[in-house]
Structure 1
Amino acid sequence: MHVLDKFRYCPVCGSKHFVEQTEKSKHCEECGFEYFLNPSSAVAAFILNKQGELLVTRRKYEPGRGTLDLPGGFCDIGETIGEALIREVKEETNLTIKEKCYFCSLPNKYRYSEFDIPTLDAFFVCSVEDETLLKAADDVEEALWMPLSDVRTEQFGLRSIRQALHDFLQKRVENLKK
């Protein structure tokens, strides 16, 4: 079921003539109100320690419970994408980001409450102040450093994470060849 199917009545005037206009919008035929379902912003971090190992987490909850992930999450209202990145990494790993560099962004669908929520996921390559403070918290079951040679994208539960990880690993290989 598409999330817009839950909106049966116009939230402005209450009319039942609140109809699908496009895949991402509904329009009220009575009062003219239009609602657009735009993607939610999310962030994820590629963090390497001094040994060149990647910080990976294990998801505590669905979607993808028990699969690997990168530290990150959704942006809050009024928060910049950089602020969200810093907050999410701190909440999930107890680590403080020292530097961040934009890597890429990818559209995704995040399954929540039996709906596919469209997201736009922004990925950053980060360094942290003190990697020894690593501690899994919040919605992370486990946080660990993994050698890049052991990273298998199929072990990661979310599509955009798998794609960004693939691209990240490819770029690392290309940079080593230079």
Structure 2
Amino acid sequence: MNTNQKKHPLEPFRYCPRCGSSHFVEHSGKSKQCAACGFELFMNTSASTAAFIVNGKGELLVVRRKADPARGTLDLPGGFIDIGESAEAGVAREVMEETGLRVTAVRFLFSLPNVYPYSGLDVHTTDLFFRCEVEETEHSLHFADDAEEGFWIPVQALDASQFGLHSIRQAITRFQQENGSEILKK
């Protein structure tokens, strides 16, 4: 394989998940098909969420990643949407799991593609960014799950380079550009 070419997203999957045949071959740029039973597996993106939570002082709630990828870097509260869960419910659940805060309102902002390395695979994601309002009770704020710690940073003082995931860096920059002056007026 030419090293300049991208690997097929299903390259690590060598056997058909239905019948176990080793005749599981590329069928399209995003699928493999089994020559033995005809099963076709597509690689589609996984859905993930991230929350912009701004307090009354114009500060954004950020967390520090507890695990790889990008362990120790800054992040926004959020994570993968569970099967059978809406994006809004997913972001509210993730915020609760990571910060202990209850989301009271959710507004979709934008989405960005991302690649999330996990367990030796590149998981292609569509990251959905939301502006979330929370019951702002500082005493209920505690960090758990994927968040090692968390703190509030003034939106205009954010440094996107401190965030470890590509889509989060892009989102921080975009959020600052689109919302910075609005937040400063409050």
Q: TM-score range by the shorter chain?
A: over 0.9
**Which of the residues 61, 68, 73 maps onto 1:62?**
68
1:109-158, CA deviations, whole angstroms, 9 ceiling, x for partnerless residues?
Answer: 00101211011110001111124121111111111011112200000000
SS of 1:64 mapped into structure 2: coil
- Structure 2 counterparts to residues 99-110 of structure 1, below 5 A: 99-110=105-116
| Alpha carbons 1:10, 1:28 under 8 Å: kept | yes
Displacement, 1:80?
0.9
Paired position in structure 1 for 2:167: 160
Paired position in structure 2 for 1:23: 29
| Alpha carbons 2:156, 2:180 under 8 Å: kept | no
Structure 2 CA distance for partners of 1:138 and 1:106, relative to 1, 3 Å:
same
**Which of the residues 142, 146, 152 maps onto 1:145?**
152
Structure 2 CA distance for aligned equivalents of residues 55 and 158 of structure 1 = 16
Q: TM-score, normalised by structure 2?
A: 0.89
Structure 2 CA distance for aligned equivalents of residues 69 and 149 of structure 1 = 16
- Structure 2 counterparts to residues 1-12 of structure 1, below 5 A: 4-12=10-18
RMSD: 1.8
Structure 1: state its 5+ residue gaps: none
**Which of the residues 73, 76, 89 maps onto 1:83?**
89
Displacement, 1:23?
3.1
Matching residue's letter, 1:25? S
Equivalent pairs, count: 178
Give yes or no for the alignment of 1:135 onto 2:181: no
1:39-62, CA deviations, whole angstroms, 9 ceiling, x for partnerless residues?
Answer: 111100000011110000000000
Q: TM-score, normalised by structure 1?
A: 0.93
Paired position in structure 1 for 2:3: none
Structure 2 CA distance for aligned equivalents of residues 134 and 175 of structure 1 = 25
Structure 2: state its 5+ residue gaps: 1-6
SS of 2:130 mapped into structure 1: strand
Structure 2 CA distance for aligned equivalents of residues 105 and 74 of structure 1 = 14
Displacement, 1:177?
10
| Alpha carbons 1:45, 1:125 under 8 Å: kept | yes
| Alpha carbons 1:2, 1:115 under 8 Å: kept | no
Structure 2 CA distance for partners of 1:174 and 1:83, relative to 1, 3 Å:
same
> Identity, % of aligned pairs?
53
Structure 2 CA distance for aligned equivalents of residues 134 and 142 of structure 1 = 10
